[in-house]
A and B are shown apart, each in its own frame.
Chain A
Amino acid sequence: MEPKLSSDLLRGHTDTIVLAMLMKGDRYGLEIYHQILARTGEQYELKVDTLYSSYKRLEKGGYITSYWGDETQGARRKYYRITDKGRELYRQNLLNWEFTQKILNKLLKEEDE
């Protein structure tokens, strides 16, 4: 059997994914989009609206901030930067996920490999 990616499951973690992408530095909207596509081997059909509602939600909550870049040529890009509050949320979400994953494995794995 071929494994398939559960997009629904991933979508539930969009905020944390965005925060994770920003942990190593500021990025602009499309950059994050491309990075997610690349890391999931283009298997995850991420819609832009999902991503942007996440940006807006995180920005509203004070977890990220945004600013217009000063590109001299080509279109201007809007960059996102993670805040301390955002880092804290990321770490907490990561802990939650690792914990949940353990429980989920206990619940799901019936057959021993």
Chain B
Amino acid sequence: MNTREYIDSLFSDYQKTSALEDFKEELKSFLDERIRTLVKGGMDEKDAFEKATSELGDISAVADEISRKKKQELIGEMYLKTTHYMSTWRIALYVLCGAVFGFGVIVAAISEYFSGDVNAPLGSLLVFGGIPILVFLFLWLTQETATREAMEWKRALLYVVTAGVFLFGVFVFLVTYFEKSAGLPYAIATLIPFVLPSSAFGVFLILTEKDRSKPWVIKQREEYMKRSLERFGDPVQEMRFGLFSAALWIAGIAAFILLTILFGFKFSWLAIVAALIGQMLILATFTKSH
């Protein structure tokens, strides 16, 4: 092994920065000359190499100061590197959808102001808000990222249709709710043809979903599981934590629905906030104290 290869192998875990390259260059010149000096002193080439490299100590610790990016941190960075997987037409579509969505929101706000009618902004939101959301969903599902593989486009389309029916259902619900001659009971009835079946099918799709995570993510997750096990102490505790949380959220959502019917949205959202606070408290109770 020559000194170049030796030094490269020492710093292979570090990201290439100009400062690190500079340091490697300096270290190579140091090592080469040190070996030459030792050889001049009567040592043979191989022994000199051995001695010179053993004198280095933990030289990679110096690299930590120069280039703090070790492999571990690079993995963290990979989560953010999605643009790497985006083709130009995808980026164009993302931007276009964002623009259309923004346009929809603006038009909705204006029409609300000028017409004073709730239906006008809702209609604008359905067309200019709903369609970009669906296209976003399709793009997001079929997007390969650093952490997961892309979904097959046919399956993604199923999701989009389901979400479309769901959104339409929400729209119909809202329109009926604000319609003076209809009101809440009618609005709830409209949930049956649209929101209910689409939710059911959506749940079916989600439950039959394959894990599309990339291998390194799966590995990370296993490590996380191990850590969370340490955090909760034992699996029984973790199960109890799950049950408590589930009970809390069932109660929270029930309270939300009940409060909505009794007092309207104005107060019912507080139930969700209360549930969130409860969740934090449960987590705090179950986390092992150190």
> Is the A/B pair a real complex?
yes
Spell out A's residues near B (CB within 8 Å): 29-30, 33-34, 46-50, 52-53, 56-57, 60, 75-78
| Residues A30 and B65 in contact, CB atoms below 8 Å apart | no
Checking A47, A53, A60, A76 against B55 with a beta-carbon cut-off of 8 angstroms, the contacting residue is: A47
Residue of B nearest to A78 (CB): B26
Query: 20 A-B residue contacts at CB 8 Å?
Result: A29-B30, A30-B33, A34-B37, A46-B55, A47-B55, A48-B27, A48-B30, A48-B57, A48-B59, A49-B56, A49-B62, A52-B62, A56-B65, A57-B65, A60-B65, A75-B32, A75-B33, A76-B25, A78-B25, A78-B29
Checking B25, B34, B58, B66 against A56 with a beta-carbon cut-off of 8 angstroms, the contacting residue is: B66
| Residues A48 and B65 in contact, CB atoms below 8 Å apart | no
**Taking the nearest CB of chain A, how far is it from the CB of B25, in angstroms?**
8
Known interface pairs A49-B56, A53-B61; 4 further A-B residue pairs with C-beta atoms within 8 A, sorted by A's residue number: A29-B30, A47-B57, A48-B27, A48-B30
Residue of B nearest to A71 (CB): B29
| B28 close to A (CB within 8 Å) | yes
| Chain B interface, number of residues (Cβ within 8 angstroms) | 20
| Residues A29 and B26 in contact, CB atoms below 8 Å apart | yes
Residue of A nearest to B53 (CB): A48
List residues of chain B with CB within 8 A of the CB of A56. 62, 65-66
For the residues of B in contact with A, the DSSP-based class is: helix
List residues of chain B with CB within 8 A of the CB of A76. 25, 29
List residues of chain A with CB within 8 A of the CB of B34. 30, 33
| Residues A53 and B29 in contact, CB atoms below 8 Å apart | no
Interface bits B10-47 vs A (CB < 8 Å: 1, else 0): 00000000000001011111101110010000000000
How many angstroms from the CA of A46 to the CA of B65 in the assembled complex? 20
**Taking the nearest CB of chain A, how far is it from the CB of B132, in angstroms?**
49
List residues of chain A with CB within 8 A of the CB of B26. 29, 78
List residues of chain A with CB within 8 A of the CB of B28. 75
Contact A30/B56 with A49-B61, A53-B61, A56-B66 known, Cβ cut-off 8 Å: no
**Taking the nearest CB of chain A, how far is it from the CB of B14, in angstroms?**
14
